[in-house]
Amino acid sequence: MINTIVPFLGLILVVVFIHEYGHYYFAKKYGVGVTDFSIGFGKEIFGWNDKSGTRWKICWIPLGGYVKFFGDRNVFSQSDQQEILKKYNLEEQEKLFILKPLYQRSLIVAAGPFANFILAIFIFFMIYTFVGKDFTPAVINEVQKDSPAFVAGLKKNDIIIAIDNKKVKSILEVSKYITMSTDEYIDFIVSRSNQDLLFKIKPNVIMSEDGLGNKINKRMIGIQLGAYNNEINHIKLGPAKSLYYSISEVYFVTTSSLKYLGSILAGSGDSSQLGGPIRIAKITGQVAKFGIIPFLTMMAYISVSLGLINLFPIPLLDGGHLMFYGFEKLLGKPLSQKTQESFFRIGMFLLLSLMFFATFNDLKDLGLF
């Protein structure tokens, strides 16, 4: 249990801190007062006050965090602006979030999610620069008889060069691209006798295990891969290439996640793979056993997911507040308190539904359902 909890807490502490620090940095940059910087919710475990009066604290429930601005009933409240103004003198009003220009408020809100993307890019950059990235071409060593790959026409010694219009630069990317595909058919481009050939393969979905031993529904096409000429090509990259591939990886994770969520909403995706804190904690503990690099890679993926989810236009999330600011820009004034409250009820329902569904999958994964 301790081998699961400690890595999970370490991962959450870093990812949440970076997210909240994005809000905090831009708030301070634009002169907004910050009264609290909290990692976790609930009762405070320990904390301290800095010179500006901000209370930095760690709380008991480590499933998020928040930055509380001076004078705000909640972090981004605009609905009771006039009532708030009556309580503060001119000097104090300079520190109020609600009086800042729209573009500054928008940057403060958006900075949290984008800090998560920057963290992920930084992690990948450090790995590619100091550890290296694999560029071993993927060669098919075997095609199982009567498998989807066999039926489609793939053959031994074919070199896989693209999957679903994404170039395959490494043997490690083949499984990733197959797993992340959501369409009924997967497009494979292979090199055979110096010719590029396109094959459309309909994968089988079977109950299997991932590399950590967790039960998952896995898309299989029936091939075994090997290194081209049996040579592993793992190289350290220079700063420019490291940055390029780091941004590319974050972009791939982001677009693949959106495509996967879109397939679930459309009714064609596998919703059983959605997980919550329990599953994340379990996988984090498993990954940490393989060393610091897999753990940091996991942290990067979780950071991208946190940033992406927070940009969804759902009230209570950063994206919901950005949506409100979009309405404010169009209307020339904030939405009324009644309208905001209606949106927040919808947002609360959506978030609770998502949490219930993810927790149900977590408990099912543990064999409790």
20 tagged catalytic: yes
Residue type at 53? G
In the structure encoding, which two tokens stand for residue 102, read together? 């729209």
In the structure encoding, which two tokens stand for residue 351, read together? 């978030």
Q: Render pLDDT for 258-308 as a digit per residue (tens, 0 to 9).
A: 888 887 777 766 666 666 665 666 666 677 777 899 899 999 999 999 999
Task: List the pLDDT tens digit at each of the 369 positions of the chain.
Answer: 667 788 888 898 999 999 999 999 999 999 999 999 999 999 999 999 999 999 999 999 888 899 999 877 544 455 556 666 677 788 888 898 888 999 999 999 999 999 999 999 999 999 999 999 999 999 999 999 999 999 999 999 999 999 999 999 998 899 889 888 888 899 999 999 989 999 999 998 887 666 555 666 778 899 999 887 778 888 999 999 999 999 999 999 899 888 888 877 777 666 666 666 656 666 666 777 778 998 999 999 999 999 999 999 888 889 998 999 998 899 888 887 778 778 878 877 877 777 776 666 655 554 544
Instruction: Give me the residue spans of the domains in the chain.
Output: 2-130+303-365, 133-235
Query: Which residues contact residue 58 at a Cβ distance below 8 angstroms, ignoring those fewer than 6 apart?
Result: 38, 39, 40, 44, 45, 46, 47
Residue type at 293? I
Nearest to 105 by CA among 33, 32, 54, 16: 32
Q: Which CATH number fits domain 133-235: 2.30.42.10, 3.40.640.10, 3.40.50.2300, 2.60.120.10?
A: 2.30.42.10
Q: Which of 20, 92, 173, 231 is catalytic?
A: 20
> What are the start-end ranges of the H helices in 181-334?
239-265, 277-288, 292-310, 318-331
pLDDT of 76 reads: 43
Q: Would you mind telling me the total number of residues written for the chain in this entry?
A: 369
pTM of the entire predicted model: 0.87
